[in-house]
Structure formats: C-alpha cells, structure tokens
Amino acid sequence: QYWIKFLAPALVSRASTQLRPMIRSAVTLPRQQLASFRRPHVTLLLAVAAAWHCWEASVQYSPADVLSELFVHPVACQRRSPRQAQGTRAPGAAVAALTGEAPADEVHIVRVVKADGSESMFRLPPSAELSSGWDLTQQALKDEEGGIDFDYYGGEYGHVARAVLGETPPMDGSWFWALYVYSSFTGEWTRAPGSVDTIPLVTYPHLAWIASKTALEKSVEDERVLRILGPDPER
C-alpha cells in the first residue's frame, strides 16, 4: 500500500501541469475543438482521482478496511437517499437502545403507568423523524398492544389522549391520561407545560403517560406521580 503514497503526488503534479493550460484555454475554445481532446484528459483525471482516493484510504484506514472504504462504503452511500442518510443511525446504537443497553442520555424514553399501577417502558434511538412529544408518542406506542387513540383539537390543545395501550379512562372521570416530561435542564420529571404537540424533544427528551387521579388535589397528585416516576428517566 505504501507505493500509493509516492505515486499519488507525482500523478497529481503531472495532472495539474497538463490540466492547467487546458483549463485556461477551454474558456476561449469553441465547443467543436473541445471534443478533440476531451476523452484523454477525462481518463487522466479519473485515474488521478482514483489514485488520490487510494492514498487517502491507505493513510486513514487499516489494510483490512481499505477495501471497504474504496468499494463498499461508496456503493452503500449511493443507494441511500438523503432523507435516509440523515435519519439513520448505526445499527449498534439502535439495537442498544431497543435492548436497554444504551444509557438514558442517548435514547428517548416513553413510560406508561396505568391506573392499576402497572408500568411499561419503551426506548427509541433519536432520529430525524423525532422532534416533538407527539412524534415520540406515535413512534413508541402506536404499534404496541392496544395502540393509542387520540383526539386532535388543533392549536394549543393539539392531540388529547383517549386511550393508551388499550386502556380508556372511565366514564366517571376518576382518572385521565396526563403527560409528564423529563427536563434535560433541571434533570427531573414535571407535568408537561403544554400539549404533547408542543413538547420539543431537545428540551424534554423523555415522556411519561400517567393515569392521573382526579379525586386528589393537583399538588398531591403531582407528588404521587413524581414518587412513581422517581428521580431519573428510568427511575
């Protein structure tokens, strides 16, 4: 691999010497005259680019990774759309998030505490598709058993929960689905300051849907919920 380090500079120097006058004269030459020497110089330019890429790969990567950098990586990048490239994370990070191995500050967490006290927790890796609390709620819960059912009122009210994971508040209004958020600034759980649509995940990366009791005063109920949630995103 080391011969590339000596060959690449020579090729680049020779190419620049030959291409410089061509570039200066190409501005004034008619299109018909350009066709006579277009192919040889294009071939030389491609050869120089390939040699330079080989040299960079040999410097930055181990011999075992050179082939991957030169051939596998360019093909993989070409097959992905810009949207996929922006929203895709390394498979290892996604697997770690789903299996619970990634730390809380590297994932989004959604907790659901039902009226009987049972709790479910879901972990999602960050992605370009997740920007609001509603995005995270949908991605985490819509395909789980029971799914979700929300009414949409628009404006400041946004989406309001009717059923979460198959559980609907009773007609007597003894409890309802309340949203709590974990602040990345204060490092604690708190009742959501607005609708789930207005919650930015940059500020509140973790959510909790709680079956909140209406028989208690709001301050007392908040204390009860915060004891359940604990001091950390995962308790």
First to last CA, the chain: 53
Report which DSSP code applies to 174. Answer: S
DSSP string, 143-155: TSTT-EEEEE--T
Is the pLDDT at 196 greater than 80? The verdict is yes
Closest CA to 167 of 152, 153, 181, 147: 147
Q: What percent of the chain has pLDDT over 90?
A: 52
pLDDT band at 7 (very low <50, low <70, confident <90, very high): very low
User: Which residues, other chains included, contact 177 with Cβ-Cβ below 8 Å and sequence gap of 6+?
Assistant: 161, 162, 164, 169, 209, 210, 211, 212
- Please state the length of the chain: 235
**Residue 100 zone, left/alpha/beta (φ > 0; ψ -120 to 50; rest):** left
**Residue-averaged pLDDT of the chain:** 75
pLDDT for the residue 119: 97
Task: State the number of CA atoms in the 13 A half-sphere of 178 facing the CB.
Answer: 23
3-state SS class at 22: helix
pLDDT for the residue 74: 43
pLDDT digits (tens, 9 = 90+) for 151-163: 999 888 999 999 9
